Amino acid sequence: MNMEKIIDENKQGEALVLNTNNKNTRKLFIESYGCAMNFSDSEIVASILAKEGFNTTQNLEEADLVLVNTCSIRDKAEQTIRKRLQKYNAVKKINPRMKVGVLGCMAERLKEKFLEEEKIVDLVVGPDAYKDLPNLIKEVEDGRDAVNVILSIDETYGDISPVRLGGNGVTAFVSITRGCDNMCTFCVVPFTRGRERSRDPQSILAEVNDLAEKGYKEITLLGQNVDSFLWYGGGLKKGFKKASDIQKATAMDFAQLLDLVATEHPKMRIRFSTSNPQDMSLEVLHTMAKHKNICDYIHLPVQSGSTRILKEMNRQHTREEYIELIDNIRKILPNCSISQDIITGFPTETEEDHQDTMSLMEYVKYDYGYMFAYSERPGTLAAKKLEDDIPEEIKKRRLAEIVALQREHCAFRTEEFLGKIFEVLIEKESKKSDQHWAGRTSQNTVAVFPKENYKVGDFVMVKVNDCTSATLIGEGVGFSDNN
Ligand code: 5AD
Ligand code: SF4
């Protein structure tokens, strides 16, 4: 559920703009916080509401409807959203007809309580109820608060063609699974996003075809746990827990889905996120090795390097099994970059456990990572059975130590690129210079280089001459044969 684009929850949400030509327009301001799945879901919501005549605006003060897609992963994420709601409160004084809706994980977690706790909120809609938005908005326009937080076992929004919001026209998310069944004890996601379900591969392919026709060059297959993608021909019927023999015979797993998409679209770069160590199969690694267009990059959260803590977290693997997977990645995909998520200060974590995490990091030398202090989430198994017993100062100190170590490893990995030539897909102008393009290598490392005659969407061979700890600096030496 993370990725390079896990949009840091402390960052201001981005206003997403949609322009339709519908005459009967009302103005929608929609912003997203949290993980890529939320950003992808907002594109589904925009599509549903475009049909209702909603035209988006970046100007809060003129919005008829404000929707905020929320994140509950850590307490800080929720606090950020509450602060944002205060801002809406201020705007409502200037624009009293404005209605405010909350979507996503916080909506699902708080349900009706949201209406009581935050008076500004008129509408609460959970992640599986977006198709009900047109009805709910009517309720709100008639002056009643509206709530739908029903979770589904089969909603995948596979029939909705997302409106691409705020993008660069080059890279896009394609959602392939929703929900999570893993029940890591720290994680609120199984409660806010419900049971795991996979999307029909045909609708996934149709979406990728559409993106290819529109000129997109890179897709990221998205899911809380992509490796557990499993499609039984026709899907499992409600109430049936087990697949029939026929369903098993026609099943498609994640490695097969990757193979299908990569074969159908040999020029499309393919990424995926997030992988779960316990579910990632060797077949996935072999499929990556087989297809040049599947990127050499795996986001592989480990959370802790201590087998004891992993067990407390209900991660279904040991430190040794994780290391074995890393060794297999290095063997099968020698140029693959790997990133991590780590939590420090999980209940009962000792200095020794913390050292286990540090030594695992030393072993892997991750290209980069996302590190967090443990934040107890109401309703999770950890909250129910374990005391949040690591003092904040200790959590912070351990976090600072792993962040510092990761910084060293980032620099080490980035320096490995020096003097070599890599294919870079141009996504946009560099933030620091309007004379340079910015894009990413297959390994997901950002590279900047002079614009010359190249343009956004080109695959360019870039010679790396210099680097900062996270960015490669180079020069284009010609087009790649992928154009
Ligand atoms: N506290 C801190 N970090 C968490 N994550 C998930 N739940 C929590 C929590 N309760 C982190 C995990 C996960 C990433 C998306 O967020 O590292 O992989
Ligand atoms: Fe949460 Fe674990 Fe599922 Fe990721 S795999 S969403 S951390 S329960």
Q: Does 304 have pLDDT greater than 80?
A: yes
Closest ligand 2 atom, residue 315 Cα: 2
Question: What's residue 243's pLDDT?
Answer: 63
Q: Is residue 346 within 6 Å of ligand 1 at its C-beta?
A: no
* Residue range 126-133: mean pLDDT, rounded: 98
Question: What's residue 166's pLDDT?
Answer: 80
CA of 128 to the centre of ligand 1 (A): 22
The whole-angstrom separation of Cα 274 and Cα 470 is 21
Q: pTM higher than 0.75, yes or no?
A: yes
Q: Hey, what domains does the chain have and what are their CATH numbers?
A: 3-148 (3.40.50.12160), 171-415 (3.80.30.20), 421-479 (2.40.50.140)
Closest ligand 1 atom, residue 376 Cα: 10
Question: What's residue 5's pLDDT?
Answer: 32
Q: What percent of the chain has pLDDT over 90?
A: 88
Q: Does 225 have pLDDT greater than 90?
A: yes
Closest ligand 2 atom, residue 187 Cα: 1
CA of 61 to the centre of ligand 1 (A): 34
Closest ligand 2 atom, residue 225 Cα: 5
**Tell me: the pLDDT tens digits for 3-13?**
333 333 333 33
* Residue range 252-277: mean pLDDT, rounded: 97
Question: What's residue 245's pLDDT?
Answer: 67
The whole-angstrom separation of Cα 189 and Cα 35 is 11
* Residue range 9-25: mean pLDDT, rounded: 44
* Residue range 405-412: mean pLDDT, rounded: 97
Instruction: Give the ligand with the smallest distance to the CA of 301.
Output: 1
Q: Does 22 have pLDDT greater than 60?
A: no
In the block, tokens 């009302």 appear at 26
Closest CA to 258 of 289, 295, 287, 228: 287
Contacts of 229 (CB under 8 A, 6+ apart): 176, 177, 198, 223, 252, 253, 254, 257
75 pLDDT tier (thresholds 50, 70, 90): very high
* Residue range 385-409: mean pLDDT, rounded: 98
**Tell me: the pLDDT tens digits for 114-125?**
999 999 999 999
CB-side exposure of 154: number of CA atoms within 13 Å? Answer: 12
Question: What's residue 244's pLDDT?
Answer: 67
CA of 256 to the centre of ligand 2 (A): 23
Question: What's residue 246's pLDDT?
Answer: 66
Question: What's residue 234's pLDDT?
Answer: 55
* Residue range 49-54: mean pLDDT, rounded: 95
**Tell me: the pLDDT tens digits for 330-342?**
999 999 999 999 9
Q: Does 255 have pLDDT greater than 80?
A: yes
The whole-angstrom separation of Cα 164 and Cα 455 is 20
Q: Is residue 375 within 6 Å of ligand 1 at its C-beta?
A: yes
Question: What's residue 167's pLDDT?
Answer: 82
**Tell me: the pLDDT tens digits for 429-450?**
999 999 999 999 999 999 999 9
Ligand 2 pocket test: pick from 73, 183, 189 the residue with the most ligand atoms within 8 Å of its Cβ.
189
Question: What's residue 11's pLDDT?
Answer: 35
Q: Is residue 475 within 6 Å of ligand 1 at its C-beta?
A: no
Residue nearest (by alpha carbon) to ligand 2 atom 1: 187
Question: What's residue 483's pLDDT?
Answer: 86
Average model confidence (pLDDT) across the chain: 92
Letter string b/e over residues 410-434, b meaning 16 or more CB atoms within 10 A of that residue's CB:
beebbebbeeeebbbbbbebbeeee
Question: What's residue 248's pLDDT?
Answer: 67
The torsion angles phi and psi of 276, rounded to 5 degrees, stand at -115, 125
* Residue range 228-253: mean pLDDT, rounded: 69
Q: 282 by DSSP, 3-state: which? A: helix
**Tell me: the pLDDT tens digits for 344-395?**
999 999 999 999 999 999 999 999 999 999 999 999 999 999 999 999 999 9
CA of 173 to the centre of ligand 1 (A): 21
Question: What's residue 237's pLDDT?
Answer: 47
Residue nearest (by alpha carbon) to ligand 1 atom 13: 341
Q: Does 152 have pLDDT greater than 50?
A: yes
56 pLDDT tier (thresholds 50, 70, 90): confident
CA of 69 to the centre of ligand 1 (A): 18
**Tell me: the pLDDT tens digits for 200-219?**
999 999 999 999 999 999 99
Q: Does 314 have pLDDT greater than 90?
A: yes
The whole-angstrom separation of Cα 176 and Cα 165 is 19
Partners of residue 198 on adjacent β-strands = 177
16 pLDDT tier (thresholds 50, 70, 90): very low
DSSP state of 167: -
Q: Does 419 have pLDDT greater than 90?
A: yes
